[in-house]
Amino acid sequence: MLRFLLRRTGSLIVVLLVLSAVVFLLQQVSPGDPARAALGANASRAAVAAERHRLGLDDPLAVQFLRFLGHAVRGDFGTSYRTHRPVATDLASAFPATLELVLAAFVVALLLAALFAASSALSWPFAGIGRGVLLVVATAPPFLLALVGIVVFYARLDWLPGSGRGEGGPGSELAHLVLPATVLAIAPALAIGRILRAGLEATLAADHVRTARSKGLGQAAVLGRHVVRNAIGPSLAMSGLQLGFLFAGTVVVEQVFSWPGMGNYLASSIPTSDYPAIAAVTLVLGAVYVVVNTLADVLQTAADPRLA
């Protein structure tokens, strides 16, 4: 197990390095020029060249990459072209909002996935309609769901707020979370639910479950002790994957709901070609994604004695 952890950590570091290399290279090919951005559009050629030299932009690529890495590790992502503040400062204020939204969405996704899988594998009556709705809704683009959600629950019914992050008490905060978290959760819920259903169905039909039933165990004991643990492995991995996807999914959803998180920050940076901001968000959310997947992988291994 220790060896497995070491190997997994090793590959985690490699992937993070590759991620930062990709982001760095993209920054190189992006049309924006940090020197010109810092000096303004009217600066002279000579002044721009001097600024480039000061920023080290004429150093060899490898040197620049190492410097980029060093800065990134210390949380220095440069200055945003758009807000003219350090990107790190902007991210620090946006990250908690994103984390809150993603965790809420993850909980919703897991609940929906469990409902979807259990209702199908255990043939609950009348659950088929719910599953059908989820199947169709999950094929809709998130921005459509968000807009329809706003029209229905805010404009028509006025049950829930349509934008922003709540202020003034947990009640308001929760109310603001409901729509964006649900919209964000739909697609991952179906993805996890399908895997979980397949796992449950395969395990329910497995020989060892028949053995458990032949012992005269009750349904709860059979499910709890013999089915769930054997069925859950692949869906753990899928949950990790989807938790990662949730961070990426925030870009569109946060923008529609004006949620003051990193996705919204990234979405606002795109039209202004604010590449330092785009690079930083990609790097941070990408790193979170990679780490979450590694954790899910470790968890899955721990759950199955055959893999450890």
Interface with other proteins in residues 186-205 (CB under 8 A): 205
d(CA 46, CA 92): 35
Q: Does 249 bind other proteins (CB under 8 A)?
A: yes
Q: Does 303 bind other proteins (CB under 8 A)?
A: yes
- Tell me the per-residue interface mask from 86 to 125 with other proteins, x by CB under 8 A, - otherwise: ----------------------------------------
Q: Does 289 bind other proteins (CB under 8 A)?
A: yes
The nearer residue to other proteins, 26 or 107, going by C-beta atoms, is: 26
Q: Which helix (H) or strand (E) holds 209?
A: helix 207-214
Q: Does 68 bind other proteins (CB under 8 A)?
A: no
Are 149 and 179 in contact by the 8 Å Cβ rule? The answer is yes
Q: Does 220 bind other proteins (CB under 8 A)?
A: no
Which runs of E-coded beta strand occur in 41-186? Answer: none
Could you tell me which of 127, 120, 110, 252 has the C-alpha nearest to residue 191? 110
Least distance in angstroms from the C-beta of 44 to other proteins: 26
The nearer residue to other proteins, 42 or 139, going by C-beta atoms, is: 139
C-alpha distance from residue 249 to each of 27, 33, 191, 244, 253 (Å): 22, 28, 14, 9, 7
d(CA 187, CA 184): 7
Stretch that binds other proteins, among 19-27, 62-70, 164-172, 174-182 (CB under 8 A): 19-27
Stretch that binds other proteins, among 33-41, 66-74, 133-141, 172-180 (CB under 8 A): 133-141
C-alpha distance from residue 262 to each of 104, 210, 253 (Å): 16, 49, 11
Q: Does 251 bind other proteins (CB under 8 A)?
A: yes
Q: Output DSSP code: residue 79.
A: B
Residues 256-275 within binding reach of other proteins (CB under 8 A): 256, 266-267, 270-271, 273, 275
The nearer residue to other proteins, 49 or 160, going by C-beta atoms, is: 160
The nearer residue to other proteins, 3 or 45, going by C-beta atoms, is: 3
Q: Does 247 bind other proteins (CB under 8 A)?
A: yes
Q: Does 160 bind other proteins (CB under 8 A)?
A: no
Interface residue with other proteins, options 99, 212, 295, 302 (CB under 8 A): 212
Could you tell me which of 290, 268, 285 has the C-alpha nearest to residue 98? 285
Q: Does 245 bind other proteins (CB under 8 A)?
A: yes
d(CA 52, CA 34): 8
Interface residue with other proteins, options 29, 62, 129, 220 (CB under 8 A): 29
Least distance in angstroms from the C-beta of 189 to other proteins: 15
User: 269 Cβ partners below 8 Å, 6+ apart?
Assistant: 80, 82, 275, 277, 278, 281
Q: Does 14 bind other proteins (CB under 8 A)?
A: yes
Total Cβ atoms within 10 A of residue 160 = 17
Total Cβ atoms within 10 A of residue 70 = 10
